[in-house]
């Protein structure tokens, strides 16, 4: 999908900032609509079709979290929602669990946001074709039959219980998942750690990993398998 066909809804109660963000993305060929609050955004979405919503979290009356929940309650696939926050309004894992397709702290990196927009408007098949540009420093192996209390899948990644591996947020992990499903080969790929909680479930840790790459041998089958598992969370909590 070319950027000229993509319409963005920018939501922030700071009027000048809202228009500044919109103007920046227009430079790259995106069509933008602005809304100065969550309720105004909901009103816009009743009349306009957009592919992506970029919203601040802390807004009066209808917050960005409430806006996210309302959008995903209607259709958790479209539009995609990227969340921006300068405060610890809600743990990152909860935003992903509520369906946010991406999270950015203020002041956000504009190049990172452009990459997130690119990721949000392509298919999973296309998105997960590109190997990581940096060799993953860490590895994760998982070998359990589903359903398992130790792993859960969302639309864009998974949460997994693991040991004392030293990775942290934003680290790249290569993973090997044997789920003992006759319709699914071993899932091999790479992802980015989006959150980590230590001291969980008997002293183990839980990490939320966004999938960024899958090997050719498993990609198509995994995408089909994932498509049959209706899930609002982008990355779930356990």
pLDDT digits (tens, 9 = 90+) for 178-193: 999 998 999 999 999 9
CA atoms within 13 A on the CB side of 23: 6
Q: Which residue has the tokens 């290569």?
A: 174
Cα dihedral 127, 129, 133, 136, rounded to 10, equals 100
pLDDT per residue over 146-184, tens digit each?
Answer: 999 999 999 999 999 999 899 999 999 999 999 999 989
Q: Is 153 exposed, middle or buried (0-12, 13-18, 19+ CB in 10 A)?
A: buried
pLDDT at 181: 92
Spell out the residues 6+ positions from residue 43 whose beta carbon is closer than 8 angstroms to its own.
Answer: 35
pLDDT value at 8 more than 80: yes
Report d(CA 54, CA 83) in Å as an integer. Answer: 6
Q: Please measure the distance between the N-terminal and C-terminal CA atoms of the chain and give it in whole angstroms.
A: 34
Residues 69-77 have a mean pLDDT of 94
Report d(CA 27, CA 111) in Å as an integer. Answer: 13
pLDDT band at 201 (very low <50, low <70, confident <90, very high): low
**Ordered structural domains, the chain, with CATH:** 3-122 (3.40.50.2300), 138-227 (2.30.130)
Q: Which residue has the tokens 């998974």?
A: 158
pLDDT at 237: 94
């Amino acid at each position: 999908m070319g950027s000229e066909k993509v319409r963005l809804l920018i939501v922030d109660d700071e009027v000048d900032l809202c228009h500044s963000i919109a103007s920046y993305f227009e430079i790259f060929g995106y069509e933008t609509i602005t809304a100065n609050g969550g309720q105004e955004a909901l009103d816009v979405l009743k009349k306009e079709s957009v592919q992506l919503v970029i919203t601040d979290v802390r807004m009066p009356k209808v917050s960005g979290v409430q806006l996210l929940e309302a959008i995903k309650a209607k259709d958790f696939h479209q539009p995609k929602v990227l969340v921006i926050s300068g405060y610890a309004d809600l743990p990152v894992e909860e935003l992903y669990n509520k369906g946010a397709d991406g999270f950015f702290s203020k002041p956000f990196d504009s190049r990172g946001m452009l990459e997130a927009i690119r990721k949000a408007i392509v298919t999973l098949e296309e998105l997960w074709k590109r190997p990581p540009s940096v060799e993953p420093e860490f590895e994760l192996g998982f070998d359990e039959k589903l359903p398992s209390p130790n792993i859960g899948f969302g639309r864009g990644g998974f949460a997994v219980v693991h040991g004392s591996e030293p990775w942290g947020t934003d680290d790249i992990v290569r993973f090997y998942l044997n789920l003992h499903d006759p319709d699914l080969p071993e899932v091999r790929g790479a992802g980015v750690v989006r959150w980590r909680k230590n001291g969980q479930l008997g002293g183990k840790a839980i990490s939320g990993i966004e999938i960024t790459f899958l090997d050719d041998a498993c990609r198509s089958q995994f995408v089909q398998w994932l498509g049959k598992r209706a899930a609002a969370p982008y990355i779930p909590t356990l």
